[in-house]
């Protein structure tokens, strides 16, 4: 605990503490070894897939333009809700898309998940701008950059005084779609890896066919994918601390911290999800 | 703890609520084990009461944590709590009679990792972060386990994945009509998340009082309990489910009335109040 209560350094992005990094690496290695001993090679591959999925979620959240309460009042750019809600929406939409496509093969399912998440964010971002422009009568203007990096539109002329910008510029829209796609991809990857593990183990434990245990395997993999999605999304939200405009925001540069945190959290949560069925019938 | 910032001053100390919450909810979950002894699920409602006790404790933890300013919405704390909690609860459920104890330990591990990542890697540097996320993960796990035990009458994994279905008078075992196979666990997950994140989010601000916030937490808990009680008709004996439903409704009515009373106590004025007295001699 001694290293945690340290004084805040002024300015810049604070790098992770050495203790945090060492602890993270140790935890990931322990989780990988445990996965190998519990479910052999399949477990190891599944846990690596889960860690990659968690990292994709943690990285993807940084792309999503989150405005929070200031955006609801038209005083900051972005979608007017919190990181956890937006990420959960995009991730769950992606997960539904991926889970529906799961019987069609690994690649199709992953693509389905990415498209599901990206589509939800595309619709959300478009409708947010429709409400901003036609409902609230405010133009899209970023407060963090002078020119849109993609379209080249200039912002300062349109930005109201006393605000950090408002509306949803095109770069934020693109960021939202990329973030949704990455989140959906990561969530689907976690779901597919867990589904493989459960579909291999459950028929042996319950002495039943794969078709009979399908509802349990799908439900367990789904709820664990949602749970890990939320853990990673909230850690990324803590990294962003509040609002972010998209990939052009200076806060975006903080993403390496969230990737480390998401990898470690996914590894620890994932090992419990993979080892879930090892203890059934022991007690 | 050296740093202590209270949102609303006064009230019961947090550590006292922690001890009562932890011990009380674990004992209440164990009381559902009477179902196995009596061979009848009439004691399933104790699971719901355990969830209510845990939710009251969790709301006080969220209040404690959010008084430091997370930079993102209060609901994120509820999301990470249930995200970690559902993994711990389902893993713990596989250990039979030891389920509640194992659930608490596993939740503490996942919560500790998430807290250490948030503090040491993401650099939130909040002194109570690790302890709070451990508490929240335990609260989330007990909420899920308690509500699941209430819905299907047992906190054991095999009871959660097997259900009975009767066709033409014959009763056969089916995995589809179970708590997990039917994905009721996802509904329980969301009911718990909404219950834990709402109370402090609704009551925060100037004039926040601990008893009012915690009463709202209990009210949200009973509201979730009513929904789970209705769903439990599908899994447990009809009369047992009616007992559960009646207890939930009575609990909700009582806490709701108390909450309105406390709100009127703390409010400056309300519609059916006496007219606001004008100061003498005119304004």
ipTM of the complex: 0.89
**Nearest Cα to A150, choosing from A170, A176, A125, A165?**
A170
Contact A272 B110 (CB under 8 A): yes
Q: Does A10 reach chain B within 8 Å, measured CB to CB?
A: no
Contact A280 B91 (CB under 8 A): no
**Nearest Cα to B225, choosing from B260, B188, B279?**
B188
Q: Which of B73, B94, B157 faces A84 most closely, judged by CB atoms?
A: B73
DSSP label at residue B120: I
pLDDT at A97 over 80: yes
DSSP label at residue B204: -
Q: Which of A83, A231, A257 faces B72 most closely, judged by CB atoms?
A: A83
Q: Where are the domains of chain B?
A: 14-155+184-266
Token pair, residue B104, equals: 């608490």
What is the b/e burial string over A96-122, where b = at least 16 CB atoms within 10 angstroms of the residue's CB? Answer: bbbbebbeeeeeebbbbbbbbbbbbbb
Best residue in B3, B36, B114, B123 to probe A by mutation, most A CBs within 10 Å? B123
Q: What gap in Å lies between CA A200 and CA B154, rounded to an integer?
A: 26
Q: What gap in Å lies between CA B58 and CA B61, rounded to an integer?
A: 5
**Nearest Cα to B176, choosing from A114, A216, A281?**
A216
Residue of B nearest to A277 (CA): B94
Q: What gap in Å lies between CA B72 and CA B69, rounded to an integer?
A: 8
Q: Which of B113, B180, B182 faces A220 most closely, judged by CB atoms?
A: B180
Q: What is the pLDDT of residue B163?
A: 81
Q: What gap in Å lies between CA A1 and CA A51, rounded to an integer?
A: 26
Per-residue pLDDT tens listing for chain B (283 residues): 333 334 566 678 989 999 999 999 999 999 998 888 888 888 889 999 999 999 999 999 998 888 887 767 788 888 889 999 999 999 999 988 899 999 999 999 999 999 999 988 888 888 889 999 999 999 999 999 999 999 988 888 888 888 877 777 777 778 888 888 888 998 999 899 989 989 988 888 777 888 999 999 999 999 999 999 999 988 888 888 999 999 999 999 999 999 999 988 888 766 665 665 666 665 4
Q: Does A92 reach chain B within 8 Å, measured CB to CB?
A: no
A242: left (phi over 0), alpha (psi -120 to 50) or beta: left
Q: A147 has which bridge partners?
A: A154
Q: Which residues of A touch B75 (CB under 8 A)?
A: 82, 84-85
Q: Where are the domains of chain A?
A: 46-271
First to last CA, chain B: 48
Residue of A nearest to B80 (CA): A231
> In A, residues 26-55, which contact B (CB 8 Å cutoff)?
27
pLDDT at A200 over 70: yes
**Nearest Cα to A143, choosing from A256, A255, A243, A12?**
A243
Contact A235 B122 (CB under 8 A): yes
Residue of A nearest to B88 (CA): A272
Q: What gap in Å lies between CA B16 and CA A50, rounded to an integer?
A: 38
pLDDT at A248 over 60: yes
Token pair, residue A68, equals: 């929070």
Q: What gap in Å lies between CA B125 and CA A4, rounded to an integer?
A: 6
pTM: 0.89
Q: Does A108 reach chain B within 8 Å, measured CB to CB?
A: no
Contact A1 B158 (CB under 8 A): no
**Nearest Cα to B8, choosing from B204, B180, B198, B194?**
B204
CA torsion sign, A37 to A43 to A45 to A47?
negative
Contact B82 A257 (CB under 8 A): no
Map residue B174 onto helix, strand or coil: strand
Asked whether B135 and B58 are in contact (CB, 8 A), the reply is: yes
Mind telling me how many Å the CA of A152 is from chain B's nearest CA?
Answer: 31
Greatest mean pLDDT range, A66-75, A111-120, A144-153: A111-120
Q: How many CA atoms lie within 13 A of B1 on its CB side?
A: 16
Neighbours of B249 (CB within 10 A): 15
First to last CA, chain A: 35
Q: What is the pLDDT of residue A48?
A: 95
Map residue B45 onto helix, strand or coil: helix
Mind telling me how many Å the CA of B19 is from chain A's nearest CA?
Answer: 22
Q: Does A1 reach chain B within 8 Å, measured CB to CB?
A: yes
Contact B120 A3 (CB under 8 A): yes
Neighbours of B110 (CB within 10 A): 29
Q: What is the DSSP string of chain A?
A: -TTTTPPPPPSSPPPPPHHHHHHHHHHHHHHHHHHHHHHHHHHHHHHHHHHHHHHHHHHHHTTS-B-HHHHHTTSSSSBSS-HHHHHHHHHHHHHHHHHHHGGG-HHHHHHHHHHHHHHHHHHHHHHHHHIIIIIS----EESS-SB-TTT--B-GGGPPTTSSEES--HHHHHHHHHHHHHHHHHHHHHHHHHHHHHHHHHHHHHT--HHHHHHHHHHHHHHHHHHHHHHHHHHHHHHHTS-B-STTSGGGGGHHHHHHHHHHHHHHHHHHHHGGGGGTTT-
| Residue partners of B23: CB distance under 8 A and separation at least 6 | none
Angle among Cα A34, A39, A44 to the nearest 5 degrees reads 65
Q: How many CA atoms lie within 13 A of B92 on its CB side?
A: 34
> In A, residues 51-80, which contact B (CB 8 Å cutoff)?
68
Q: What is the pLDDT of residue B278?
A: 62
Q: What is the pLDDT of residue B280?
A: 67
Token pair, residue B49, equals: 């009461």
Contact B123 A17 (CB under 8 A): yes
Q: What gap in Å lies between CA A128 and CA A216, rounded to an integer?
A: 38
Q: Does A8 reach chain B within 8 Å, measured CB to CB?
A: yes
Mind telling me how many Å the CA of A20 is from chain B's nearest CA?
Answer: 5
Contact A269 B84 (CB under 8 A): yes
Q: Which of B2, B79, B186 faces A88 most closely, judged by CB atoms?
A: B79
Contact B186 A226 (CB under 8 A): yes
Query: At A81, phi and psi to the nearest 5?
Result: -155, 180
Q: Which residues of A touch B108 (CB under 8 A)?
A: none
Instruction: Name the helix (H) or strand (E) containing B173.
Output: strand B170-174
Q: Which of A4, A88, A216 faces B119 most closely, judged by CB atoms?
A: A4
Range from A49-53, A68-72, A186-190 carrying the lowest mean pLDDT: A68-72
pLDDT at A215 over 50: yes
């Amino acid at each position: 605990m001694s290293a945690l209560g340290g004084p805040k350094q002024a300015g810049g992005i604070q790098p992770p503490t050495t203790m945090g990094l060492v602890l993270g690496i140790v935890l990931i290695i322990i989780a990988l070894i445990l996965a190998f001993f519990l479910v052999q090679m399949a477990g190891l591959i599944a846990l690596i897939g889960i860690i990659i999925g968690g990292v994709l979620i943690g990285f993807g959240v940084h792309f999503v333009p989150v405005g929070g309460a200031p955006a609801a009042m038209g005083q900051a750019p972005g979608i007017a809700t919190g990181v956890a809600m937006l990420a959960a929406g995009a991730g769950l939409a992606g997960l539904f898309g991926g889970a529906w496509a799961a019987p069609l093969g690994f690649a199709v399912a992953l693509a389905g998940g990415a498209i599901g998440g990206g589509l939800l964010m595309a619709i959300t971002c478009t409708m947010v701008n429709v409400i901003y422009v036609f409902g609230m009568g405010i133009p899209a203007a970023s407060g963090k950059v002078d020119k849109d990096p993609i379209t080249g539109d200039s912002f300062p002329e349109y930005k109201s005084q006393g605000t950090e910008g408002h509306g949803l510029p095109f770069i934020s829209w693109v960021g939202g779609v990329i973030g949704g796609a990455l989140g959906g991809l990561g969530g689907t990857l976690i779901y597919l890896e867990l589904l493989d593990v459960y579909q291999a183990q459950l028929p042996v434990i319950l002495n039943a066919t794969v078709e009979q245990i399908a509802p349990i395997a799908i439900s367990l993999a789904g709820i664990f994918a949602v749970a890990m999605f939320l853990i990673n999304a909230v850690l990324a939200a803590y990294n962003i601390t509040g609002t972010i405009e998209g990939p052009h925001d200076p806060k975006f540069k903080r993403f390496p911290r969230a990737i480390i945190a998401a990898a470690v959290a996914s590894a620890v949560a994932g090992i419990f999800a993979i080892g879930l069925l090892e203890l059934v019938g022991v007690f | 703890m050296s740093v202590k910032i209270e949102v609303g001053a006064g009230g019961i100390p947090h550590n006292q609520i922690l001890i009562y919450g932890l011990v009380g909810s674990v004992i209440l979950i164990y009381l559902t084990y009477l179902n196995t002894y009596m061979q009848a699920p009439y004691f399933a409602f104790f699971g719901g009461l355990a969830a209510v006790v845990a939710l009251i404790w969790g709301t006080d933890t969220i209040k404690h944590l959010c008084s430091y300013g997370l930079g993102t919405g209060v609901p994120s704390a509820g999301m990470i709590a249930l995200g970690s909690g559902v993994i711990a609860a389902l893993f713990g459920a596989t250990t039979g009679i030891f389920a509640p104890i194992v659930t608490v330990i596993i939740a503490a591990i996942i919560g500790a990792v998430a807290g250490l990542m948030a503090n040491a890697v993401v650099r939130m540097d909040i002194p109570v972060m690790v302890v709070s996320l451990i508490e929240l993960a335990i609260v989330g796990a007990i909420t899920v386990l308690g509500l699941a035990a209430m819905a299907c009458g047992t906190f054991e994994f095999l009871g959660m994945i097997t259900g009975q279905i009767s066709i033409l008078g014959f009763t056969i075992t089916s995995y589809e009509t179970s708590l997990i196979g039917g994905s009721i666990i996802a509904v329980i997950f969301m009911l718990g998340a909404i219950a834990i994140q709402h109370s402090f989010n609704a009551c925060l601000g100037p004039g926040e009082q601990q008893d009012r916030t915690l009463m709202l937490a209990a009210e949200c808990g009973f509201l979730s309990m009513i929904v789970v009680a209705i769903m439990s008709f599908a899994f447990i004996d009809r009369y047992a489910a009616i007992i559960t439903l009646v207890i939930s409704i009575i609990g909700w009515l009582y806490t709701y009335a108390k909450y309105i009373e406390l709100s009127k106590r703390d409010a400056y004025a309300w519609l059916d109040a006496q007219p606001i007295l004008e100061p003498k001699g005119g304004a």
